[in-house]
Structure 1
Amino acid sequence: MPRLPLLPEAICEPREVVDAMRARRGGTLRPIDRLILHSPSVAAGWTAHADAALGQTIVPVRLRELATVATSVLMAHDYEVRTHEPAFLAAGGTPEQFTALADVEAARHRDDLFDETERATLGLAIEMSRDIDVSDQTFARIADALPDSRSLVELITIIATYHMTNRVQRALDFC
């Protein structure tokens, strides 16, 4: 049970914020939306950030979902792991890869399941989640694996976005 009550699903004010959230979610509000709407300004910023960091990125969907699942596993947030499993699989991830992500540390060494870019992404997620600081070696590895600096900034931001998402959800005892 969340620590704050979910606002009604039919909430329509503040209109601009709620409409933007619904547009991003295909016309509906998810329960987390109904929690963060307790602060309309946070909800507006959250939606704008999520749209930019997740919806307008050039990072391939499969790599985005790999980073999201790995980050959520590392943060022990099963809700986001379960929520993103269908998207990971729909983007071309395999059930074997998804299962391997239960141990991200071991998965980053599985060249039979993950290519170099994916393994570099897992290493980045591990360091950003556990150490916060990213080593020069890990940074160089992911920079070499990605096509350009835009992809690099976006991938780092995707991982950081799920740090924020997971922490807010955990603090609100959501899921």
Structure 2
Amino acid sequence: MARVHPAAGTGEVADRVRARRGGHLTPLDEALLHSEPFADGWNILLGAVRSSMALPGVLRELAICRIAALNGADYEWRAHAPIAHAEGLTDEQVAALRLGADTAPLEDDHQLVLAYTDAMTRSVTVPDELSAAVHKRLGTQQLVELTGTIAAYNMVSRFLVALHVGHAESADTSESTESEVTA
């Protein structure tokens, strides 16, 4: 059960969020709308992360799903695993993003993004050699966008987990079956 009840979802900010979401509000939006300035800023930031960057969607969604697994953000996992599939990750590659999973199905770029995501999420500090490798492979713009995406979705996962948004007792990102993840 969520720790805050859903906000009414009326007004200009809610309308802007609905417009980005294709006409509806999610449980996350309904929690955020208790603070319209926060919800508005969140909507602008996450809208840019999701739709305005050069970072390939497959790398964005790989990072988001890994963050969800690392932080126990089941709602985030359930929302983004299908998007990761749509962006081109296979069932085996999505499964490899879970904690303790075999990462062998991941391609070299995926492994690099996974290591960068793990460093930023687990310890915040990224080793120089890892940052240099990501920079060399992706370039400056995509390094900045990947870093911003990881930072933003760590914010998302922490908000979701702290307030039990979309909390489902049976969901577990480390052990969920593929059918639970894509449902």
Q: TM-score, length-normalised on structure 2? A: 0.86
* 1:132 and 2:124 aligned: yes
Counterpart in the other structure of 2:86: 90
Q: Secondary structure at the match of 1:101?
A: coil
Alignment of 1:1-175 (within 5 A): 1-8=1-8, 11-13=9-11, 15=12, 17-103=13-99, 106-107=102-103, 110=104, 113-146=105-138, 148-174=139-165, 175=167
Q: Secondary structure at the match of 1:102?
A: coil
* Residues 141 and 159 (structure 1), Cα distance of their counterparts in 2 relative to 1, 3 Å cut: same
- Asked if the contact 2:72/2:161 (under 8 Å) is kept, the reply is no
Q: Secondary structure at the match of 2:81?
A: helix
In 2, the alpha carbon distance for the partners of 1:151 and 1:87 equals: 20
Total equivalences in the alignment: 166
Q: Supply the RMSD in Å over aligned alpha carbons.
A: 1.4
Percent of aligned pairs with the same amino acid = 35
- Asked if the contact 1:37/1:43 (under 8 Å) is kept, the reply is yes
Report deviation, 1:136. Answer: 0.3
Q: Secondary structure at the match of 2:98?
A: helix
- Asked if the contact 2:67/2:154 (under 8 Å) is kept, the reply is yes
Q: TM-score, length-normalised on structure 1? A: 0.89
Tell me whether 77-86 or 156-165 shows the greater mean CA deviation.
77-86
In 2, the alpha carbon distance for the partners of 1:173 and 1:90 equals: 27
In 1, the alpha carbon distance for the partners of 2:137 and 2:6 equals: 42
Structure 1's unaligned 5+ residue stretches are none
- Asked if the contact 1:67/1:159 (under 8 Å) is kept, the reply is yes
- Asked if the contact 2:95/2:101 (under 8 Å) is kept, the reply is no
In 2, the alpha carbon distance for the partners of 1:76 and 1:31 equals: 17
**Partner letter of residue 2 of structure 2?**
P
* Residues 155 and 18 (structure 1), Cα distance of their counterparts in 2 relative to 1, 3 Å cut: same
**Partner letter of residue 63 of structure 1?**
L
**Partner letter of residue 14 of structure 2?**
V
Report deviation, 1:53. Answer: 2.1
